[in-house]
Structure formats: C-alpha cells, structure tokens
C-alpha cells in the first residue's frame, strides 16, 4: 500500500446515537471502495469495524476502531465510534485526531441524545461536520422530520445538498443539488447505480432546495454575496468552492441521504467527503509550546517527526497495540523515537495500518495519517512521540470520571493476582474505568460509566485473559456527618507494672458546610497538652472518623478543636493521646446528632414524549426531584436529581418501560442527607455485614 501525503488524506470520525447505522455505513464504504470482498452486515457479525467478539454478540460498537478506504486517489481514514453513552470516552478520543465528523442520524428517530453530545464535542473542537441521514429505506423514515430535528437540536446551518428519490421502502436513489443530476441505485447491496434525469415530480422541490443552498453558501462569504446580488445566482464552481470554504470554516453543515444496509447513496457520500471536508493540510493540528500557549502544527512531512497517541488496545497475544496520529514529519518502521511524555526511547518495529483487526505492514506513515504499532514498552494513551529538540506537546484527551462501582471477586482463588495484572492492561486500553481495593471493606472494586460498561469490561477480562469473576451489587459511597455542635472529653489511663499510659483531651466539634471534608484546630493555651502530643490527638480523631460512627462510613464536613486537657510527666506518650482523641470523638458523637449522607446524581432522561408521564412518576418514586422538562421533536428530556442508590436498577427499568427507545445520562452532583427510615436500613445492613466479616474471620 502506498504512503499518502497529507493533502490526499481525509480523517473522519463516524459519530451519532446507537443504532443510527454507523458501522453498517463503514461497511458499505469499504465495499464500494473495493477494500473488502464481501458486503458485511451488523446483524450477521461480518462487518470490518465491529471486530471484537463482544461487539459481534451484542450487535453494538463498544470501542472506536479504525479502517480506511482508497477512493479517487485519496485515502479516507474512518474511525467508527460507539453510540452508547457508557462508551463516550472513545468518541472524544476519536474526535481529537479526526479532521471532520460524519454525523450519522437515523431517518426515523432523528437526533437522539448521543448525537447531540457528539455534535457538542465536535463544536468545542471546531470540527467541520457532514450530516448523513441514514436508513431512509425504513418505515416512517423522513428527511423533512430529520432535518427539522437537526436544525432544532444541532444547528440552523444544516443544509441538504441531496434530496432522496422515493420514501421509505421505495427509497432508491438521490438527486445531487449541486451537479443537478439524479442517481438511481440497485437495492441488492451492490452499490451499482444509473445516472438519470431528475424525476419530473421532483423538479419544483429540487429547484427550491438548490436555491436555498445557493443563498446559504452566498451568505457565508462576502465576495460570493456580492456576486450573488450581481448575477442573481452562483456558478457551479463558485457553489462548490464556496460550500467547501463554509464547511471548513464551520459555517455550514451539508446533509446527504443514504441507506447503508441497501448500499444506496454511499458513492456520492464519498465524493462529498473528498470535495467538502478538510485534509490535514487544511486543518493543522493544535499543540502547546513549552509555556503552555497554543501553537499550530502544520502537517509537513519534511519537519521533525511528531505523533500523538489517541488509543491503546490490550491484545493478549500482540501485547499493546498503540494507535497514533502522525502530526508532522514521518514515522518509519525499524526506527527509534523518543516518548516525550515519559522521557524514554521507544523502538518502532513494524508500522501498521488497521482495517478493523486486520493489520497491514507499511514502511512509513506520513504527516496527517493515522497508524499503529505493536509492543511499545512504555507508551500509553495521551503520550507524545517526537524529537527531543522539539518542545511542542499536545493537550491530553480528557476522560470522564467513573460514576458506578461494582465489587468483583474471582471465581477461582488463584485468580486474584491475575485480576490485578489483567485489569491494569484493560485500564491502559480504557482510561474511563478504574480498578481499586476498598480500604474499608477490602473488596476489589471495578468502576465505570454504567452497568453495561462494567459488564463489557468483565466479559473482556474473561475472554482475553481467562479471568472469570463474580459481580456483586455496587457499593454506594455513603458518608456520615454531624448536625449539632458539642464538647467532649476523652481520657485514656492505664497502669501497668512499669510506666503507665495517660492521655487526656477536651475537644469541641461543630458542623461545616457540605463539601468541606474535615478541619482540625489546635487551640491549646498554657501547655495543658504539650505541643508534641497535639498531632497524636488529631491522628486519633482522624482514625476514628474514617471508621465512622453510625454505619462505618467516613465522617465528613465537621471541625474538631482541641482546647484543653492534661498530661503526666512520665506516663504520657503519643499512643496515649491518640487513644484519648479517639475516645473524645466517640463521646462527641453521642450528642452531635450524627447522620448519613448519600451521593445525589444529576440525571437526564431522553425518551419518546408518550412515555414522559410514566417516567416522571417513576423518578418521583425513586426519591428524585424533577428539575425541568424539554421537548425536542418527538423526544422529551427530563432533568432530575436522584439519589445514586435509587439509580442502580434504572438502566433495566428504562429499557423495558420504553421498549429500548429511552436513554439516560447521569453524573455526580452533591451529597445530601438520607431520610431517617432509609438510615435505619443502612445502619442495620452495615451491622449485619460487620457481623458476617467477624464470623468469617473467626
């Protein structure tokens, strides 16, 4: 395979809500470009980009994957991304190394939540976008409704450059508004088409849509606006040039029509990608200089090599597969390069380009292109490879914090060490998961973006590394605090044969605002407690507060002031005052009105409007507070604040209640007090758990 220069490359990320047809579209593109011999179908598990066994089984993309198509002497790199909210981290990573986004919208459902989120992420990065209204062969598919939802939810500047010929089952081709040509496709997945005259019954609509397109292109450029006023229209060449400039400048978002499953409209889409979306030359990568200021890095293959690592794959056979974008210069096989992030030399073996999981070895990868390499020893996601003399770095991709944790335990006793090693590898692949040991319960915790995210991680653990684990219900990170101020006294006195033990302190405890954690104040005067023993009092209080008082959860949002005490010249020591501090804390808790706090989540639910009433009632039943409701087309968005403990089963409930048409997103908001009757249950459960642990240890 030849090495393409930057001007002949298009890097596009396929983004959109789940089930909009991104993976099927990628399969059709690869088929029409002659990259594969067989037209792959998602339902049959034969697509190129859904190559993981878990993806094939679930029929959903679960991580970003890379493929490429050679079309009209250009190379189009396709990054197929997940459309499920749990896996949004890979969407953000893909958008960082793409030069444009193909926003795929289902012709029936229109814009859904993940489409909006991907659009917003692309907007933040200033990425040009081309909109693909897909699946127009389905019942109830409508370009008009889809366009309306796009203009309401995304941008008024979405403008069709094609119109569909036929609707729903009779969809069979497209009219190109710029070339003023009609293309009628065979519906046998072959992608073959015939150029024909524009259907007579569409002539009026085509003229009207073309006029609207010309006006919007003219509005986006002052010179073209003057030309439009002079001539009353634009030439075809002015229209193409003006549209390309407006797309790259983020002023217009052209819309095309397809059915990926029937392979209709794919080749005109590829032509549009080459004509209107930028190459790496048109859109230089952004970096940071040594002072942290933003700099522009031109895709110049004559410069020193620089590459940004955007994804790592944990392969049990090949080791790490590192996926990168070459920003400048060229990377060559069998060479050495510096990992500037970790200040270590890396040996590049065989450079590869990926077609899903198929690897093709290449001698070099030039500026602007995407590639991969196996078995680097230190390099991870977000690392920068390059020349030591070049001080430029690249801003790291921000990955979302985990929102849900499950306890995991190995089914086989000997697997505990293997879990740790394997999970470390999976954390390298997916930085949005987190693996840790709970210091209180000693449980192994796996944290992620949601239940599906954690289930998929557990499936990878078993399939790739042979480690089988049980998932236990997630533990809620409760906290304890106090509601009243009080004073307390702690005295530890023990007499033995030799030196005794004596520590005596008086403290005051008082509540602090939410989020304040803990403060310790030394207010000792006159040497009532010697200075060297005051830190021991604080350590005693700290140890006691981390063990909690009501149910064993850490106590937060309060201040302890030590203000008096006494000591013995011979018997006092640090241990005595540490124990005295702990006793004083326990004494204070008997009067400070301790209470339990729980994490509250900001929740957004997206569902067809027919279900809004039932879903709001259900959220109220989960102790949720409804904060607002928006309607967008046929979709209702419900915003609420709900305790995390009530959201653990929400994913299954929403799926069954809406027939799989609803989705939701949640993130941490704040801690709030648990109602009294719920506290009783939490305390009882904690006591039962402690008793169980004590029995097990005995």
DSSP string, 338-384: EETTTTEEEEE--EEEEETTEEEEESEEETT-EEEEE--SS--TT-E
**DSSP letter, residue 515:** T
Task: Please enumerate, as own/partner, the contacts of 201-205 that have beta carbons within 8 Å and a separation of 24 or more.
Answer: 202/163, 202/165, 202/175, 205/163
Q: What is the pLDDT of residue 633?
A: 65
541-576 per-position pLDDT tens digit: 999 999 999 998 899 999 999 999 999 988 899 999
Strand positions, DSSP E, 370-424:
370-374, 384-386, 404-410
247-274 per-position pLDDT tens digit: 999 999 999 999 999 999 999 999 999 9
The rounded distance, in Å, linking the Cα atoms of 281 and 284 is 6
The rounded distance, in Å, linking the Cα atoms of 200 and 178 is 18
Sheet holding 469-472, edge to edge: 434-437, 444-448, 404-410, 469-472
Question: In angstroms, what is the C-alpha Rg of the chain?
Answer: 31
Short-list 689, 682, 611, CA closest to 643: 682
The rounded distance, in Å, linking the Cα atoms of 329 and 58 is 40
Question: What angle is formed at CA 678 by the lines to CA 677 and CA 682, rounded to 5 degrees?
Answer: 125
Asked if the model's pLDDT at residue 514 lies above 80, the reply is yes
- Tokens 């400039």 correspond to what residue? 245
- Tokens 């796996």 correspond to what residue? 446
The rounded distance, in Å, linking the Cα atoms of 13 and 80 is 6
- Tokens 């047809």 correspond to what residue? 21
The rounded distance, in Å, linking the Cα atoms of 400 and 406 is 17
Contact 605, 618 (CB under 8 A): no
Contact 604, 637 (CB under 8 A): yes
Top-confidence residue, 661 or 639: 639
Q: What is the pLDDT of residue 515?
A: 86
313-366 per-position pLDDT tens digit: 988 777 899 999 999 999 999 999 999 999 999 999 999 999 999 999 999 999
Contact 505, 580 (CB under 8 A): yes
Residue 369: φ, ψ to 5°: -95, 160
Quick one: how many helices (H) and strands (E) in the chain? 16, 36
What is the pLDDT averaged over residues 623-644? Answer: 89
Asked if the model's pLDDT at residue 404 lies above 60, the reply is yes
Asked if the model's pLDDT at residue 696 lies above 60, the reply is no
Question: Which tokens belong to 146?
Answer: 């889809």
The rounded distance, in Å, linking the Cα atoms of 337 and 349 is 11
The rounded distance, in Å, linking the Cα atoms of 492 and 430 is 50
The rounded distance, in Å, linking the Cα atoms of 248 and 244 is 6
Q: What is the pLDDT of residue 496?
A: 72
Q: What is the pLDDT of residue 698?
A: 45
* pLDDT-based confidence at residue 497 (cuts at 50, 70, 90): low
What is the pLDDT averaged over residues 35-61? Answer: 93
173-216 per-position pLDDT tens digit: 999 999 999 999 998 999 999 999 999 999 999 999 999 999 99
Top-confidence residue, 85 or 25: 25
Top-confidence residue, 236 or 400: 236
What is the pLDDT averaged over residues 154-160? Answer: 96
Asked if the model's pLDDT at residue 44 lies above 50, the reply is yes
Short-list 579, 576, 566, 564, CA closest to 499: 576
Contact 361, 352 (CB under 8 A): yes
Q: What is the pLDDT of residue 693?
A: 58
* Helix, strand, or coil (residue 21): coil
Q: What is the pLDDT of residue 648?
A: 82
Percent over 90 (pLDDT), the chain:
76
Q: What is the pLDDT of residue 112?
A: 84
Contact 82, 63 (CB under 8 A): yes
Q: What is the pLDDT of residue 441?
A: 64
Asked if the model's pLDDT at residue 443 lies above 90, the reply is no
**DSSP letter, residue 259:** B
* pLDDT-based confidence at residue 662 (cuts at 50, 70, 90): confident
């Amino acid at each position: 395979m030849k090495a393409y220069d930057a001007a002949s490359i298009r890097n596009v990320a396929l983004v959109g809500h789940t089930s909009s047809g991104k993976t099927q579209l990628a399969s059709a593109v690869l088929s029409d470009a002659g990259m594969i011999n067989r037209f792959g179908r998602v339902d049959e598990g034969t697509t190129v980009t859904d190559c993981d066994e878990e993806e094939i089984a679930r029929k959903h993309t679960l991580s970003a994957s890379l493929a490429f198509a050679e079309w009209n002497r250009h190379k189009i790199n396709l990054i197929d991304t997940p459309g499920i909210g749990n896996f949004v981290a890979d969407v953000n990573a893909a958008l960082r190394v793409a030069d444009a986004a193909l926003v795929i919208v289902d012709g029936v459902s229109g814009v859904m939540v993940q489409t909006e989120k991907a659009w917003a992420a692309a907007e933040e990065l200033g990425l040009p976008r081309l909109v693909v209204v897909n699946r127009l062969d389905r019942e109830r598919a409508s370009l008009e409704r889809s366009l309306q939802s796009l203009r309401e939810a995304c941008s008024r500047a979405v403008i069709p450059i094609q119109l569909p010929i036929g609707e729903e089952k009779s969809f069979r081709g497209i009219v190109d508004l710029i070339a003023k040509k009609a293309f009628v496709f065979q519906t046998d997945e072959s992608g073959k088409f015939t150029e024909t005259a524009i259907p007579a019954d569409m002539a009026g609509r085509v003229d009207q849509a073309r006029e609207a397109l010309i006006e919007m292109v003219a509005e986006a450029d002052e010179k073209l606006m003057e030309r439009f006023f002079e001539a009353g229209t634009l030439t075809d060449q002015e229209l193409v040039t003006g549209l390309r400039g407006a797309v790259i400048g983020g002023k217009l978002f052209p819309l095309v029509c397809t059915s990926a499953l029937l392979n209709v409209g794919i080749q005109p889409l590829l032509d549009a990608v080459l004509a209107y979306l930028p190459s790496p030359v048109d859109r230089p990568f952004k970096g940071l200089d040594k002072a942290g200021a933003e700099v522009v890095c031109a895709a110049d293959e004559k410069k020193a090599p620089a590459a940004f690592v955007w994804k790592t794959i944990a392969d049990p056979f090949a080791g790490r597969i590192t996926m990168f974008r070459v920003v400048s210069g060229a990377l060559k096989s069998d060479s050495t390069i510096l990992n500037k992030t970790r200040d270590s030399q890396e040996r590049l073996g065989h450079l590869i380009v990926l077609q899903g999981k198929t690897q093709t070895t290449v001698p070099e990868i030039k500026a602007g292109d995407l590639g991969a390499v196996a078995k680097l020893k230190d390099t991870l996601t977000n690392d920068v490879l390059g020349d030591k003399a070049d001080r430029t770095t690249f801003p790291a991709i921000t990955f979302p914090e985990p929102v849900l944790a499950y306890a995991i335990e190995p089914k086989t006793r000997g697997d505990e060490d293997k879990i740790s090693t394997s999970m470390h590898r999976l954390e390298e692949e997916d930085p949005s998961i987190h693996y840790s040991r709970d210091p209180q319960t000693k449980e192994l915790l796996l944290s992620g973006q949601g239940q599906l995210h954690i289930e998929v991680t557990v499936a990878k653990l078993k399939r790739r590394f042979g480690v089988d684990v049980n998932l236990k219900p997630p533990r809620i990170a409760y906290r304890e605090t106090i509601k009243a101020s009080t004073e307390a006294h702690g005295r530890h006195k023990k007499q033995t044969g030799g030196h005794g033990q004596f520590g005596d302190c008086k403290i005051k405890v008082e509540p602090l605002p939410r989020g304040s954690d803990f403060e310790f104040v030394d207010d000792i005067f006159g040497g009532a407690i010697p200075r060297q023993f005051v830190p021991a009092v604080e350590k005693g209080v700290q140890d006691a507060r981390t063990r909690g008082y009501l149910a064993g959860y850490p106590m937060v949002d309060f201040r302890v002031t030590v203000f008096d005490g006494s000591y013995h010249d011979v018997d006092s020591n640090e241990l005595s005052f540490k124990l005295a501090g702990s006793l004083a804390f326990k004494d204070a808790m008997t009067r400070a009105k301790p209470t339990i706090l729980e994490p509250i989540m900001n929740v957004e639910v997206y569902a067809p409007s027919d279900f809004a009433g039932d879903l709001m009632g259900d959220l109220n039943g989960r102790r949720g507070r409804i904060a607002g409701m928006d309607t967008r087309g046929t979709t209702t968005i419900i915003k609420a604040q709900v305790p995390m403990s009530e959201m653990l089963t929400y994913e299954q409930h929403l799926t069954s209640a809406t027939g799989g048409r609803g989705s939701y997103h949640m993130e941490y908001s704040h801690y709030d007090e648990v109602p009294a009757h719920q506290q009783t249950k939490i305390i009882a459960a904690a006591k039962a758990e402690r008793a169980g642990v004590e029995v097990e240890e005995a």
